[in-house]
A and B are shown apart, each in its own frame.
Chain A
Amino acid sequence: MIKKEIIEFLQKTPPFDMLEQELLEHAARFITIEYYPRGQNVLQQNGEPCTALRIIKKGGVKVFITDNEGDEVVIDYRSEGDSFGYISMVSGDRSRANVFTVADTICYLLPKEALLHLETKSPVLGEYFMKSFFLNFIDKTYKEMRHRSLVFGEGDKLLFTTLVKDLISKPPVTADASVTIQQAAGTMSQHKITSLILVDKHAVPEGIITNRDLRDKVVAKGLDPSSPVKDIMSPPLIRVNSHETCFEALVKMIQFNIHHLIVIEEGKLIGIITNHDFMLLQGTSPLSIVKYIESQKYVEGLLTVHEKINQIIALLFQEGVNATYIMRIITQLQDRLLRKIIELSFKKVGEAPGPFAFVLYGSEGRKEQTFMTDFDCAIIYDEQTAPAVKEDMEAFSRKLLSHLQDIFSKSGLPLFNEHPLGSDYPLYGEISAWEHAIVDAVTTGPETRALHARKLLDLRFVYGENSLAQSLKDRTFRRLRNDRRFIGLYLDLALNESSPLGFFKQFVVERSGEHRDKLNLKKKGTLPIVDAVRILSVARDIKEAATTERIHALAKKDDILSGLADDISSAFEFLLHLRLQDQMRKKEFHQEIDNFIEPEKLTLLEKKTLKEVFQIIPRLQTAVEDYYNRKEAVVL
């Protein structure tokens, strides 16, 4: 009875939630329960080695060390679902830290032998405790996906041109719908298949069972395997015609949120396709969209491509692909689309009179695109000596920008901002004009404009002459780097956002209003990282625009971020992952996409990870502060 409570608790506590029921039941036999009143040391620094892992059932503890001067250095606060004592237990070493109860605390103790037994059965457990939490979060599946080159693979099967029937290699395995669960599972294991179609007397499909059904509906619920398979099969089946394209099939899967479709040809069942088939199809070919984009001769063919790109996000996401990776693919696709649109535009607006760089800035510049919205763009060209050529460049730029605006409007996309630096400044100009515009805005403009101009510091080259974009960055960074106002304003921006974690590491959410109980992920999470990394990039002359690329470039260049770089970039990736996940859900339910999430609706693992993320951001802020303190000291 009480054992059952323990198992239920472990089932929702990482990493034990990854274990099979049997292993949990076995482990629960060895668990003992201890209680410690608040204000007590549970483990003592340099005390006896732990003989058990302590998992907090209720309450909370403070983990701290006492340094040589006798000062207390708090390492962590841990609460329900967290554990402590692992390293000391595994190494047989003295406890490294003091663990002190900050509330009445009840712990489940899992003895060393029992935990080691679990680890041999499920090595992922040991990894979880050993490695830093981020490595745990990165699910094995999407690690694997990373190695498969989706974008640059070779092959000629395309999502939009491949027909469903081309994916079917084998006739489907079916079973009579009157068999038992055990018989059906037997057929599946005999044919090494993960799903089985059940048919009636006339070979008409009645339903389907998958491995997941066997796990969730039979094993987990303790259902008798001799029950009829009808008890667990899922009707009705969604069908797709064999001559439809894979893209249409994919849309159906997304629409009905299913992973299997049955394929019908002339009224007869000829096979089954899964979303895994699509991933395989794409894994062996360049993304079909790329080919589609490249094959277009007229702009009209490109007007709906952004919708297809949005569908790809859903597909990749459904497959569990890491958000960073999804964004990299999306960036590739959107860049290609934009380049193609510009190329085709020359037919309408004429060729450029001279070299120019077409750049994106803001979040598109930082490669944080997800669902297509507006492209914040600008045109840069070289200093012109002859006034006539200068006028030609201006006229060309105006025509190109207005043509693009026209195309975006026909595509149903929002229009881009034509005056990011105020109405005096056009979206095109010579390098020196851009340099003045940006530097003036930051150093002498009103505060809002000075801050708004930061978007342009994240500019990224997309089309034309890259050297022009680089040169502009070089010049603006050089002039801003030591400017007092820039440092003052941008440092404030980078350091001022406080962590949304309370004393006990609970999330501090909005107290009232429209977003009550919600957390602004952008304001509290991504922006503080973006802003902190930007000011360092300007200071240290890092030309990359994407935040994670900047972090890695900074780490390579010097030691401002020493030891922090991996944690920060993982933290940033995790935030983007959460944001994308939230956007997907909101899109699915046709809600407005915003930056607010409800922490209480996250899984335990996500909550835990998010809390870790919010502890990393202050470390980044401290690193930035330290850098400027040192710099100040040198100047004085």
Chain B
Amino acid sequence: MNMVSSFLHKLLPSSPSGSGIADVAPTWTGVIRKETAISDCPFVVFDTELSGLNPRKDSIIAIGAMKMRGGSIAPADEFYRLIRPFGEMTKKSVEIHGITPDELEHADDIKTVVQDFFEFITDAVLVGHFIHIDLRFLNSYLKKQHNSTLRNPAVDTHGIHGWLLQNSAEFKKYFHGGSLKTDLFSVAEQYGVSVSMAHNALYDAFITAQLFQRFLHFLEPHGIDTLNELLDIGRA
């Protein structure tokens, strides 16, 4: 047993002995090459709910994700799990995501959920709105447990949005100037994605996926066809 493993045991006294780091690991194998056409590229669009914004104090309490291939959303292939948090939940975060501490009491621990999530994403390219925040939390957890980080390429819809506003006259014309706001719901509304009342990580992932779907259409005329080109403009 190495140091990280013993550290993990201290941190997670409930984890069964013998189960080590090996079973919690990113599943990226690198089969997706940068030359892959966007239309063939597997994406996982995801969103997390957090107990607060400080990765040292706060933790992920829910992950919602949905698969896409190119511009096609596969809504049946969904992932939605609640996670029992480590720290205290702030009153403000409870208000935002509407998940109460009671609900989380019987949720799985982060180890199980993150493991399942990695199995869900395997080699997909990750997509999210302001995805660096979600990644920061995931990576902070991985760093602590594994001394590693996620290696999947990641794309930020916020970044793509900014690029389109700057570079695509057609995009701006089509959407009458586009959105000057940046938060997911305002952006979604501006681009005709219907935003239902329900607000959880899975629905937000679905909204992000639809937004990403719309943006991809306007990238095509600019010759952005491959994963590499997509990452150039929207890398997280």
Which A positions have Cβ atoms within 8 angstroms of B? 1-3, 6, 28-37, 40, 104, 109
Judged by a CB distance under 8 angstroms, whether B75 is at the interface is yes
Q: How far is the CB of A110 from chain B (nearest CB, A)?
A: 12
Which residues of A sit under 8 angstroms from B198, Cβ to Cβ?
Answer: 1
User: Ordered nearest first, which 6 A-B pairs have the shortest CB separation?
Assistant: A2-B75, A33-B73, A32-B72, A29-B76, A35-B213, A32-B74
Which residues of A sit under 8 angstroms from B210, Cβ to Cβ?
Answer: 33, 35
Which residues of B sit under 8 angstroms from A1, Cβ to Cβ?
Answer: 78, 80, 198, 202-203
> Within residues 29 to 51 of chain B, which ones have a CB less than 8 A from any CB in chain A?
none
Return the chain B residue nearest A4 by Cβ: B75
Which residues of B sit under 8 angstroms from A29, Cβ to Cβ?
Answer: 76
Given A32-B73, A34-B72, A35-B71, decide whether A2 and B217 contact each other with a Cβ distance below 8 A: no
From A31, A34, A36, A37, B76 is in contact (CB under 8 Å) with A31
- Most chain A beta carbons < 10 A, residue from B75, B80, B192, B217: B75
Contact B75 A35 (CB under 8 A): no
Given A1-B202, A35-B214, decide whether A109 and B174 contact each other with a Cβ distance below 8 A: no
Judged by a CB distance under 8 angstroms, whether B206 is at the interface is yes
Which B positions have Cβ atoms within 8 angstroms of A? 66, 69, 71-76, 78, 80, 174, 192, 198, 202-203, 206, 210, 213-214, 217-218
Contact A31 B71 (CB under 8 A): no
Which residues of B sit under 8 angstroms from A31, Cβ to Cβ?
Answer: 74-76
Return the chain B residue nearest A32 by Cβ: B72
Which residues of A sit under 8 angstroms from B75, Cβ to Cβ?
Answer: 2-3, 6, 31-33
- Most chain B beta carbons < 10 A, residue from A6, A33, A34, A35: A35
Return the chain A residue nearest B68 by Cβ: A32
| CA gap between A2 and B141 in the complex, in Å | 29
| CA gap between A488 and B228 in the complex, in Å | 71
Q: How far is the CB of B218 from chain A (nearest CB, A)?
A: 8
Q: How far is the CB of A89 from chain B (nearest CB, A)?
A: 16
Return the chain B residue nearest A25 by Cβ: B76
Return the chain A residue nearest B202 by Cβ: A1
Which residues of A sit under 8 angstroms from B214, Cβ to Cβ?
Answer: 35, 37
Contact B72 A37 (CB under 8 A): no
| CA gap between A28 and B71 in the complex, in Å | 18
A-B contacts besides A6-B75, A40-B217, 12 pairs, CB < 8 Å: A1-B80, A1-B198, A2-B66, A28-B76, A29-B76, A31-B75, A32-B74, A33-B73, A33-B74, A35-B71, A37-B214, A104-B192
| CA gap between A379 and B229 in the complex, in Å | 87
Contact B206 A34 (CB under 8 A): no
Residue pairs across A and B with Cβ atoms less than 8 A apart, 24 shown, are A1-B78, A1-B203, A2-B66, A2-B75, A2-B202, A2-B203, A2-B206, A3-B75, A3-B78, A28-B76, A31-B75, A32-B73, A32-B74, A32-B75, A33-B74, A33-B75, A33-B213, A34-B213, A35-B71, A35-B210, A35-B213, A37-B174, A37-B217, A37-B218
Return the chain B residue nearest A37 by Cβ: B217
Return the chain A residue nearest B77 by Cβ: A29
Given A1-B203, A35-B213, decide whether A109 and B72 contact each other with a Cβ distance below 8 A: yes
Q: How far is the CB of A140 from chain B (nearest CB, A)?
A: 32
Q: How far is the CB of A207 from chain B (nearest CB, A)?
A: 39
| CA gap between A109 and B70 in the complex, in Å | 14
Interface of B, helix, strand, loop or mixed by DSSP: mixed
| CA gap between A617 and B203 in the complex, in Å | 46
| CA gap between A104 and B190 in the complex, in Å | 13
Return the chain B residue nearest A29 by Cβ: B76
| CA gap between A214 and B72 in the complex, in Å | 39
Which residues of A sit under 8 angstroms from B80, Cβ to Cβ?
Answer: 1
Q: How far is the CB of A28 from chain B (nearest CB, A)?
A: 6
Return the chain B residue nearest A39 by Cβ: B174
Return the chain A residue nearest B67 by Cβ: A32
| CA gap between A104 and B73 in the complex, in Å | 16
Q: How far is the CB of B110 from chain A (nearest CB, A)?
A: 22
Q: How far is the CB of B217 from chain A (nearest CB, A)?
A: 6
Contact B217 A35 (CB under 8 A): yes
| CA gap between A109 and B72 in the complex, in Å | 9
Which residues of B sit under 8 angstroms from A40, Cβ to Cβ?
Answer: 217
| CA gap between A109 and B76 in the complex, in Å | 12
Return the chain B residue nearest A2 by Cβ: B75
Return the chain B residue nearest A59 by Cβ: B192
From B73, B174, B203, B217, A36 is in contact (CB under 8 Å) with B217
| CA gap between A6 and B206 in the complex, in Å | 13
| CA gap between A34 and B73 in the complex, in Å | 7
Q: How far is the CB of B68 from chain A (nearest CB, A)?
A: 8
| CA gap between A104 and B66 in the complex, in Å | 22
Which residues of A sit under 8 angstroms from B213, Cβ to Cβ?
Answer: 33-35
| CA gap between A30 and B77 in the complex, in Å | 9
Which residues of B sit under 8 angstroms from A30, Cβ to Cβ?
Answer: 76
Which residues of A sit under 8 angstroms from B74, Cβ to Cβ?
Answer: 31-33
| CA gap between A40 and B74 in the complex, in Å | 22
Q: How far is the CB of A118 from chain B (nearest CB, A)?
A: 15
Which residues of B sit under 8 angstroms from A37, Cβ to Cβ?
Answer: 174, 214, 217-218
Return the chain B residue nearest A5 by Cβ: B75
Which residues of A sit under 8 angstroms from B69, Cβ to Cβ?
Answer: 32
Q: How far is the CB of A114 from chain B (nearest CB, A)?
A: 11
Which residues of A sit under 8 angstroms from B206, Cβ to Cβ?
Answer: 2
| CA gap between A157 and B174 in the complex, in Å | 72
Q: How far is the CB of A356 from chain B (nearest CB, A)?
A: 71
Which residues of B sit under 8 angstroms from A3, Cβ to Cβ?
Answer: 75-76, 78
Return the chain A residue nearest B70 by Cβ: A34
From A6, A34, A104, B71 is in contact (CB under 8 Å) with A34
Which residues of B sit under 8 angstroms from A35, Cβ to Cβ?
Answer: 71, 210, 213-214, 217
Which residues of A sit under 8 angstroms from B192, Cβ to Cβ?
Answer: 104
Which residues of B sit under 8 angstroms from A2, Cβ to Cβ?
Answer: 66, 75, 78, 202-203, 206
Which residues of A sit under 8 angstroms from B73, Cβ to Cβ?
Answer: 32-34
Which residues of B sit under 8 angstroms from A104, Cβ to Cβ?
Answer: 192
Return the chain B residue nearest A108 by Cβ: B75
Which residues of A sit under 8 angstroms from B218, Cβ to Cβ?
Answer: 37
Which residues of A sit under 8 angstroms from B202, Cβ to Cβ?
Answer: 1-2
Which residues of A sit under 8 angstroms from B174, Cβ to Cβ?
Answer: 37
Return the chain A residue nearest B217 by Cβ: A37
| CA gap between A135 and B67 in the complex, in Å | 39
Which residues of A sit under 8 angstroms from B217, Cβ to Cβ?
Answer: 35-37, 40
Which residues of B sit under 8 angstroms from A33, Cβ to Cβ?
Answer: 72-75, 210, 213
Q: How far is the CB of A394 from chain B (nearest CB, A)?
A: 75
- Most chain B beta carbons < 10 A, residue from A28, A32, A36: A32
| CA gap between A40 and B221 in the complex, in Å | 12
| CA gap between A631 and B218 in the complex, in Å | 55
Which residues of A sit under 8 angstroms from B203, Cβ to Cβ?
Answer: 1-2
Return the chain A residue nearest B64 by Cβ: A1
Return the chain A residue nearest B212 by Cβ: A35
| CA gap between A35 and B73 in the complex, in Å | 9
Q: How far is the CB of B78 from chain A (nearest CB, A)?
A: 7
Which residues of B sit under 8 angstroms from A36, Cβ to Cβ?
Answer: 217
Q: How far is the CB of A326 from chain B (nearest CB, A)?
A: 44
| CA gap between A33 and B211 in the complex, in Å | 12
| CA gap between A1 and B72 in the complex, in Å | 18
Q: How far is the CB of B117 from chain A (nearest CB, A)?
A: 17
Return the chain A residue nearest B76 by Cβ: A29
| CA gap between A6 and B76 in the complex, in Å | 10
Q: How far is the CB of A54 from chain B (nearest CB, A)?
A: 11
Q: How far is the CB of B66 from chain A (nearest CB, A)?
A: 8
| CA gap between A1 and B206 in the complex, in Å | 10
| CA gap between A67 and B215 in the complex, in Å | 34
Return the chain A residue nearest B80 by Cβ: A1
Q: How far is the CB of B197 from chain A (nearest CB, A)?
A: 13
